[in-house]
């Protein structure tokens, strides 16, 4: 029983981070109906930012996470300005393939500059520390990442659902033309949403080097899992993405522990198929 709860906790912790990665994608998907294929690569770059700041300037990820968030915010804005802007109003496949090209570019750029080697950031404040509670072990880095993820997702949700900016975002998502007629600068909303979506994944990537090795391929699987979480949660629903992220984390941990590690992802993707075959628009979709 204790092992089961321990596995469950591990799953929930990684699920929170998935939720944060997915929340960024979810915003973009919900507002612009675009799948950003380079989302996983954003994460990878954020991890490199955090790694290099830690390795070269000795700045701990806990602090440099702000820099990672800002950096990916800028990359998100640039992506919008240079690529996505031209794909608005065209079939969804166009943006998907263009961002696939971007993902290919970013991944191989890092491969070329930083080599495919795995890099581990050692001696961080949080690294390798654990915290015990009644026989259960909580790895501190994961716990911090999970809590940070929850806080950021909560803030994003509050911004979208209560602020004036959030209402403008919602209006743009529902009907771009009508929103424009009401005086909303939808172009600005799109830029900001791409930036904020990037910042979410930037924050997630910023904290992750405390417990995960950095390499050019690290983002791909996170990107795919983020797609799955967003689609499972339902079109642009942040609570949906949070729930789906947690669910994916738990299922992954359980399958990995009780069946075999290879089955982790089989279980995750099978879960996605099961959910959408029953509810074609996801858990919170309509």
Partner 1 sequence: MVSREKKLKIKDISWLTLVLLLSVLPLIPGFTANSFRMHIMILIMLYASMAQAWNIIGGYCGQVSFGHSVFFGIGAYGAGMAVVTYGGTPWLGIIIGMILAACVAVIISYPCFKLSGHYFAIATFAIVEIFNRGFLVWDWIGGALGLDYPIIEEGLKNFMWHNTKTPYYYLALLIFVLIFSIVRWLEGHRFGYYMRAVRDGQETAESLGVNSTAIKLTAMALSASMAALCGSFFVQYNLRVDPPMVMSLDTSMKFVLVTILGGSGTLAGPLLGAAVLVPLQEYTRAFWGGLGGGVDLIIFGLLIIIIVVKQPAGMIGILQYIQKAFKKTKLQEVK
Contact residues for partner 1, defined by CB under 8 A: 29, 33, 35, 83, 86-87, 90, 92-94, 96-98, 100-109, 111-112, 115-116, 220, 224, 227-228, 231, 260, 262-263, 265-266, 269-270, 272-273, 276-277, 280-282
C-beta of 28 vs 246, nearer to partner 1:
28
Nearest residue to 192 via CA among 38, 31, 2, 33: 31
Is the Cβ of residue 25 or residue 152 nearer to partner 1 in the bound state?
A: 25
Of residues 79 and 210, the one with the C-beta less far from partner 1: 79
Give me the least distance between CB of 134 and partner 1, in Å please.
35
The four Cα atoms 102, 105, 110, 112 give a dihedral, to 10 degrees, of 180
Closest C-alpha to 230, from 41, 31, 25: 25
Q: How far is the CB of 85 from partner 1 (least distance, A)?
A: 9
SS3 at position 263: helix
Got the DSSP string for 213-246? Answer: -B-TTHHHHHHHHHHHHHHHH-TT-HHHHHHHHH
Q: Based on CB atoms, which residue is closest to partner 1, 53 or 251?
A: 251
Is the distance from CB of 189 to CB of 169 less than 8 angstroms?
yes
Q: Closest CB to partner 1 among 9 and 84?
A: 84
Tokens representing residue 137 in the block: 């072990």
Q: CB of 265: closest distance to partner 1 in angstroms?
A: 6
Nearer to partner 1, 188 or 281 (CB): 281
Q: How near is the Cβ of 222 to partner 1 at its closest, in Å?
A: 13
Specify whether the CB–CB gap between 242 and 155 falls below 8 A.
no
Give 119's DSSP letter.
B
d(CA 43, CA 148): 15
Cα→Cα distances 36→111, 164, 249, Å: 21, 26, 21
Report in angstroms how near the CB of residue 30 gets to partner 1 at its nearest.
11
Distance in Å, CB of 94 to partner 1, minimum: 6
Residue closer to partner 1, measured from CB, 135 or 280: 280
Taking the complex as a whole, the smallest distance from the CB of residue 41 to partner 1 amounts, in Å, to 10
Distance CA 89, CA 179 (A): 15
- Judge contact between 139 and 6, C-beta under 8 A: no
**How many angstroms separate the Cα of 62 from the Cα of each of 51, 139, 192?**
11, 15, 25
Residues 6+ apart with CB under 8 A from 141: 124, 126, 127, 128, 129, 207, 210, 211
Maximum Cα interatomic distance, the chain, rounded to a whole number of Å? 59
Q: In the bound complex, what is the minimum distance in angstroms from residue 199's beta carbon to partner 1?
A: 22
For partner 1, the closer of residues 45 and 203 by Cβ is: 45
């Amino acid at each position: 029983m204790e092992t089961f709860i321990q596995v469950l906790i591990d799953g929930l912790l990684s699920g929170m981070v998935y939720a944060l990665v997915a929340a960024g994608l979810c915003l973009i998907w919900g507002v612009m109906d675009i799948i950003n294929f380079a989302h996983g690569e954003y994460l990878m770059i954020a991890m490199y930012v955090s790694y290099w700041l830690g390795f070269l300037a000795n700045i701990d990820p806990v602090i440099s996470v702000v820099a990672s968030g800002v950096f990916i915010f800028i990359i998100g804005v640039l992506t919008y300005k240079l690529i996505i802007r031209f794909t608005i109003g065209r079939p969804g496949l166009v943006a998907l393939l263009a961002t696939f090209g971007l993902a290919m570019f970013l991944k191989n750029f890092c491969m070329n500059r930083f080599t495919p080697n795995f890099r581990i950031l050692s001696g961080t404040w949080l690294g390798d520390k654990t915290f015990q509670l009644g026989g259960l072990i909580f790895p501190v880095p994961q716990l911090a990442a999970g809590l940070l993820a929850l806080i950021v997702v909560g803030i994003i949700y509050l911004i979208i659902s209560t602020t004036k900016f959030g209402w403008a975002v919602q209006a743009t998502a529902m009907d771009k033309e009508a929103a424009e007629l009401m005086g909303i600068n939808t172009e600005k909303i799109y830029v900001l949403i791409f930036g904020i979506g990037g910042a979410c994944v930037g924050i997630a990537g910023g904290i992750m080097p405390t417990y995960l090795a950095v390499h050019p391929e690290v983002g791909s699987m996170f990107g795919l899992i983020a797609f799955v979480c967003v689609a499972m949660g339902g079109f642009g629903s942040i609570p949906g993405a949070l729930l789906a992220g947690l669910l994916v984390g738990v299922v992954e941990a359980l399958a990995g522990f009780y069946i075999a590690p290879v089955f982790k992802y089989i279980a995750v993707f099978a879960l996605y198929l099961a959910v959408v075959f029953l509810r074609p628009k996801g858990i919170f979709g309509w």
